[in-house]
Amino acid sequence: MFNFLRNKTITTLAVLVCLGMLIGFAQNRGLETGKSFFVQDAISSILAPIESAAHAVFGVGGWLKRVLRPTSSILKENARLREQVRSLQMDNARLREAAFENLSLRKALGLKQISPLKMTAAEVISHSESSWFDTATLNCGSRKGVEKGSAVFNHLGLIGQIVDIDPFTAQMVSLTDLDSAVGGTVQRSRCSGIVRGQGSEYLVLTYLPKDADVIANDIVVSSGMGKVIPKGLPIGRVVRVIRDTGGVTTSALIAPSVRFEQVETVFIAGIGQSAAQ
């Protein structure tokens, strides 16, 4: 048995050696003649589909890696662009605020140039609004000639009056305050009464005659009565006329020309302050 296996092994080895020599000889002939070796062609034919499939798999894998996992350079670029957008938004907000402030100053300058009043410019530095009181603090006081009772207004119209002062600041009460009362005149018909605050967004023109000629959309201006508030400053527009059921008086609801909570820059002037002074 052992001899049989040994003879078989020797025979197999001899066959393999001969086969190797034959393949080597054929390959050398192929290299000399420039023709491919048939064994090499057979192996290439067998491996070609496997190679194509592997190339496709690795190609798809590389594409997925590029799509699903952005490189660090792309992430850095996105972060830079987001920061640039935030910077541009901030610049835009600053430019809009500057444009708004410039427009307000131009309107204020135009009012000062055409008004016969000697006016003191001031800025609102704080508001105190509630259901009962509408007051504000202005950044100028007696050192700049501000007096109690002086009118506070802007290019849109009358806002309120000065009720208290110190050397550097002044307290203003709005027309909408419950304690506010100024003389008012219907510009079209010249009917006069008292404009009072109601602690709300509307004013009321009271003490009008029962047959007063006043209708919706009439403009109401300061009457100048009492010699404190300058005459002719816009106060507001009539939105509704209220006739007393007893037929004794008439009143009118007024939408103010100026929204108190939006006031930033104002002028202060009293009846005795004229440009000629």
Q: Which two tokens stand for residue 11?
A: 């025979």
In this prediction, residues 107-121 reach a mean pLDDT of 60
Distances, alpha carbon 254 to alpha carbons 157, 189, 240, 248, in Å: 13, 16, 7, 20
* Residue 119 confidence (pLDDT) above 60: yes
Which residue would you say has higher pLDDT here, 80 or 13? 80
Residue 116: per-residue pLDDT: 57
Instruction: State the CB neighbour count (10 A cutoff) for residue 136.
Output: 23
Given a cut of 80, is residue 237 above it in pLDDT?
yes
pLDDT greater than 70 at residue 127: yes
Q: What are phi and psi of 41, to 5 degrees?
A: -65, -40
Q: What is the pLDDT of residue 66?
A: 59
Residue range 193-208: mean pLDDT, rounded: 92
Residues 6+ positions from 83 with CB-CB distance below 8 Å: none
Angle between helix 2-33 and helix 38-68 axes, rounded to 10 deg? 80
Residue 276 DSSP SS3: coil
pLDDT value for 260: 86
pLDDT tens across 154-193, in order? Answer: 888 999 999 999 999 999 999 999 889 999 999 999 999 9
> Cα separations (Å) of 92 from 8, 89, 99?
94, 5, 10
* Predicted local distance difference test score (pLDDT) of residue 22: 55
Domains in the chain (CATH in brackets) are 118-269 (2.40.10.350)
- What integer is the mean pLDDT of 35-53? 54
Task: Select from 207, 228, 54 the least CA-distant residue to 158.
Answer: 228
Q: Mean pLDDT for the chain?
A: 75
